[in-house]
Amino acid sequence: MAKKAKKAAKKTATKSPKKAAKKVAPKKAAKKAAKAAPKKAAKKAAKKSARKPNAAFMAPLTPSPALAEVIGTKPVPRTEIIKKIWDYIKKNKLQDAKNRRMINADAKLKTVFAGKGQISMFELAKVINKHVK
């Protein structure tokens, strides 16, 4: 019995300072986190506003007559051209059902795809590059 009592005494003696430290530590950590939160948010906002889009992507490009049938004749940036083509592909369900990376061409897209019936989505930017000025 004496051994058990000694072990219990050791456990309570070692735990009590730790428990007291644990009770104080979360309060201090919460105060530090509350002070640091606005600073972190300010840093993130500064990083987001510091990033500017590349001017080459934002320059308006004139589509060729074949591409104009799909996206319109108005000059638009390269990013918008790709978005409009994807909207057209999704609207007309031209993405291959089995292999989603492949795009099936309809009559309008076949002229843009240089007569190919199907291209990979990774080739799309390369094909579009030939149809803009």
The predicted-structure confidence for 48-97, as pLDDT tens digits, reads as follows: 667 777 787 789 999 999 999 999 999 999 999 999 999 999 999 999 99
Query: In this structure, are residues 103 and 32 in contact, taking their beta carbons and an 8 Å threshold?
Result: no
Spatial distance between the Cα atoms of 120 and 103, rounded to a whole number of angstroms: 6
Q: Where are the beta strands (DSSP E) in the chain?
A: 60-61, 76-77, 102-104, 118-120
pTM: 0.59
Instruction: Give the Å distances, CA to CA, from 49 to 37, 39, 52, 54.
Output: 19, 16, 7, 14
pLDDT tens profile 72-83? 999 999 999 999
